[in-house]
Copies of this chain bind each other. A is one copy, B any other.
Amino acid sequence: MRRILQGLRRLVFGQPIATDALTPVTLRTRLALPVFGAGMLSAVAYAPDAVVDALRRGSQQGAIPYMAVGVVSIMLLLGFAYRSNVRARPDNLGDYGTVRDLLGRRYGVVTGAALLVDYLFTVAVSVAAVTQLVAYLIPQLRPWVGLIGVGLIGVMTLVGLRVVRDRARVLLAVWFGFLLVVAVMLVYGVARHAAEASSPIAANPPTTWTIVLAYAGAIASGAVMVTGIEHLASAAPNHAEPRARRAGRTLLIAVSASAAAFLTVSLLAWSYRITGWADGPILLQTAEQVFRQPVTIWVVAVAAAAILYAAATAVFRRFSILASSLARDAYLPRQLSMTNDRLVVRGGILTVAVASAVMVVATGANVETLIHMYVVGAFAAIVLSQVAMVRHCTERLQLATEPGDRRRLARDRVLHGTAAVVAAGVWIIVAVFNFLNGAWLAIVMIIGLVALMHAINRHYAAVRGDVTLERKDRNVALPSATHGVVLVAQLHRPAMRALAYAKAARHSSLEAVGVQIEADAARELQRQWGKIDSGVPLVILDSPYRDLVRPVLDYVASIHRSSPRDVVVVYVPEYIVGRWWERFLHNKATKRLRSQLLGLDSVVVSAVPWHLESARDRRAAEEVPPPGEQLP
């Protein structure tokens, strides 16, 4: 049974990977594009919907082209700014590293928290967008979108736990496949539109306030297109040499391609007067208008679902890597930095899986709701990162002497400054206009995370200070004596074994101790103890409130009072079970006793295992090592 489980585990998660087997990943632009650019491109599947919807609410559909061009401008501005990021610091690992190194740990933590929240929402939005595609194609599945989303996240989790690197070639097909689909849509759409010559949408005259709201909403939604840029920029170390130039090129190509796709879908939606969301994803509605062929809509949907899935899995990995960096900097629990036998950071993947599943279920896999919570985190990181780069340029400028360098640095500083101001503007618009729609949740999450990470960091720092070995601690005084105390509930073989081990340890003094809950049982224990003639005295402790733990604690404390410099070693027999459900039948009191005893000073709690038959059987079955462990 356990062998089968082991085999299954290997099948699902793969063979273990030795530390030595890991060579650094270096990709060429062609492969880096799909691996790290899926996030940005996939936003084309839901960002146009949000922009069109926001404008429709203010009856400003006529402004769609301007708004689309505005979004594309922001994308290109930040694209150039991040290219400069990447070129200046090709070894950085994303905005967290940039801000931490250039602005200090305090801002670094804020960036880290903002990015974690951003990644979380990226997964949730991408998954929700896939379920919306499914619900559009097969309306009968609409009531089950939450379940489908959770199922998808489950699959991603398994894959995330198994796979160290994506299959670059598959991702390549997914990435260019989606671009191709959009390009074909563009050609068909323009041709058909020219032939039919429909008139553009006339804008109604609404109030100024609705117009402002509509434009703000559209900018906030369009900003979704930019959120993938940090992921792209973080990929610089994974590029083959010349890293800096190559990574910059990847970044610009990915941004341009995504911008073009976004522009195509937005403009097609505008010219076909698609109003969005209420009737389904704009991408599919547009495809329906353009191709008027059910088969092609399925093709578009599959291409979109594939890129969304790729984006979500990439962000899964990215989340766990960032969490691991934060854990290594002692801002998150240490276990989040530990890799398993497949070199995967398991804790982070499970965290993001659970959190995004909660998000998807809580919002009913509703892209519209999620998108409003989404952009706040990403833009906070972008603003901080650009500010950091401004400082970086300023510092370098003070050191630079050559005119060419100085000119270049001054130019970059203007670029980063502009990017920072624009990003900050977008951030404020998003935070203000989407606040009640859900941005408050993202802000609360970021603030909560920052507080949590500071608390964790303070804790670890305090512990480090506490445990660090100083010169004076080097010659620890040995305890003057060790007292052995064997806990004896009944006179059975586990207790006798504990007694034997305790005797073999040759303590300065040794006693057996029993707790009296019922007077009869205690007398019987004493009678039996007399018979075995162990040479060890038995002390019976009275327990008027039927508590097993308190009397033992008091007894150990009394030993400490009479000889404060001694150590008390308490031997506790413990049943070891072989089947999971047997755990509920044993050791309840033992566990409580152990944890309370460990609260005392100068005490050692020694567990003496007694293997029940099921545990012995299990061990016998395990003697043959499972297949995975036989590797050299």
Tell which of A492, A582, A599, A604 has the most Cβ of chain B within 10 Å. A604
Whether A594 pairs with B607 at a CB distance below 8 angstroms is: yes
Most B CB atoms within 10 A — which of A16, A335, A546?
A: A546
Max chain B Cβ within 10 angstroms of own Cβ: one of A334, A496, A607:
A607
Copies of this chain, complex-wide, total 2
Within 8 Å of chain B (Cβ to Cβ): is A482? yes
Cβ < 8 Å to B, chain A residues 32-80: none
Please determine whether B501 and A604 come into contact, CB atoms closer than 8 angstroms. Answer: yes
A605 touches B607 (CB 8 A): yes
A469 to B610, CA, bound (A): 13
- Asked if B492 contacts A476 (CB within 8 A), the reply is no
User: Is A164 on the interface with B (CB-CB < 8 A)?
Assistant: no
Nearest CB in chain B: distance from A23 CB, A:
15
Stretch in contact with the other chain, from A144-152, A415-423, A429-437, A569-577: A569-577
Q: Contact: A467 with B492, CB < 8 Å? A: yes
Kindly supply a per-residue 1/0 record for chain A positions 239-255, scoring 1 wherever the CB is within 8 Å of any chain B CB and 0 otherwise: 00000000000000000
Contact indicator per residue, chain A 591-613, by CB within 8 Å of chain B (1) or not (0): 00010001111011111111111
Choose among B456, B493, B501, B611 the residue that contacts A479 (Cβ–Cβ < 8 A).
B501
A614 to B: closest C-beta gap in Å: 8
Q: Closest Cβ of chain B: how far from A38's Cβ, in Å?
A: 29
Segment of A93-101, A172-180, A503-511 engaged in the interface with chain B: A503-511
In angstroms, Cα B626 to Cα A486, docked, is 28
Is the Cβ of A585 less than 8 Å from the Cβ of B478?
A: no
Contact A544/B607 with A466-B493, A467-B492 known, Cβ cut-off 8 Å = no
The smallest C-beta distance from A363 to any residue of chain B, in angstroms, reads 23
- Option from B334, B494, B501, B619 in Cβ contact (under 8 Å) with A599: B619
**Contact between chains at A615 and B599 (CB < 8 Å):** yes
Give the CA-CA distance A474 to B504 in the complex, in Å: 16
Question: What residue of chain B has the Cβ atom nearest to residue A519's Cβ?
Answer: B19
> Does A444 touch B at the CB level, under 8 Å?
no
List, in ascending order, chain B residues with CB within 8 A of A598's CB. Answer: 574, 576, 607, 609
Contacts of A544 in B (CB 8 A): 18-20
Contact present for A500 and B473 (CB under 8 Å):
no
List the B side residues contacting A169 at CB < 8 Å. Answer: none
| A428 located at the interface, meaning its Cβ lies under 8 Å from any Cβ of chain B in the complex | no
CB nearest neighbor in B for A492:
B467
Complex contacts, A17 vs chain B, CB 8 Å = 545
Contact present for A460 and B339 (CB under 8 Å): no
* C-alpha spacing A385/B97, complex, angstroms: 75
| Cβ-defined contact, A582 with B499, below 8 A | no
User: Once the chains bind, are B478 and A493 in contact (CB under 8 Å)?
Assistant: no
A547 sits at the interface (CB 8 A): yes
A338 is an interface residue with CB less than 8 A from chain B: yes
Closest approach, in angstroms, between the C-beta of A579 and any C-beta of chain B? 9
Q: Which of A493-540 contact B (CB under 8 A)?
A: 493-494, 496-497, 499-501, 503-507, 517, 528, 532
Assembled-state Cα–Cα distance A491/B469 (Å): 7
Contact A476 B505 (CB under 8 A): no
Q: Which of A333, A473, A504, A546 has the most CB of B within 10 A?
A: A504
A584 within 8 A of B: yes
- Contact at A496–B478, with CB atoms within 8 Å? no
Which B residues are CB-close (under 8 A) to A333? 584-585
Q: Which of A126-154 contact B (CB under 8 A)?
A: none
**A588 an interface residue at 8 Å Cβ cutoff?**
yes
Return A212 CB to nearest CB of chain B, in Å.
40
Residue numbers in B under 8 Å from A589 (CB-CB)? 335
Within the complex, the shortest CB–CB distance from A529 to chain B, in Å, comes to 11
Chain B residues within an 8 Å CB radius of A3: none
Residue numbers in B under 8 Å from A335 (CB-CB): 588-589
Query: Is A567 on the interface with B (CB-CB < 8 A)?
Result: yes
Q: How many angstroms from the CA of A610 to the CA of B611 in the assembled complex?
A: 28
Given that A576-B599, A609-B599 are known contacts, is A478 also in contact with B500, CB under 8 Å in the complex?
yes
Interface residues of A in 430-486 (CB under 8 A from B): 456, 459-460, 462-463, 466-469, 473-474, 476-479, 481-482
* A532 partner residues in chain B, CB cutoff 8 A: 469, 474
- Smallest CB-CB separation from A576: which chain B residue? B598
Note all chain B residues with C-beta closer than 8 A to A463.
575, 586, 612
Give the residues in chain B near A607, CB-CB below 8 Å.
594, 598, 604-607
A91 CB–B CB distance under 8 Å: no
Chain A 7-36 per-residue mask, 1 if CB under 8 angstroms from chain B, else 0: 000000000111110000000000000000
Pairwise interchain contact B466-A612, C-beta atoms closer than 8 A: yes
A341 within 8 A of B: yes
Question: A460 — nearest CB in chain B belongs to which residue?
Answer: B585
Say yes or no: B474 contacts A494, CB within 8 Å.
no
How far apart are A540's CB and chain B's nearest CB, in angstroms? 15
Contact A496 B476 (CB under 8 A): yes
CB distance from A465 to the nearest CB of B (A): 9
Mark out the residues of chain A between 90 and 132 whose CB falls within 8 Å of any chain B CB in the assembled complex: none
Q: Lowest 5 CB-CB distances: which A-B pairs, in order?
A: A467-B492, A598-B609, A606-B606, A476-B500, A18-B544
Q: A18-B545, A334-B585, A469-B491 are in contact. List 15 more A-B contacts (CB 8 A).
A: A17-B545, A20-B544, A341-B545, A341-B547, A467-B493, A468-B492, A469-B528, A476-B500, A478-B503, A478-B504, A482-B501, A501-B604, A505-B569, A569-B606, A599-B619
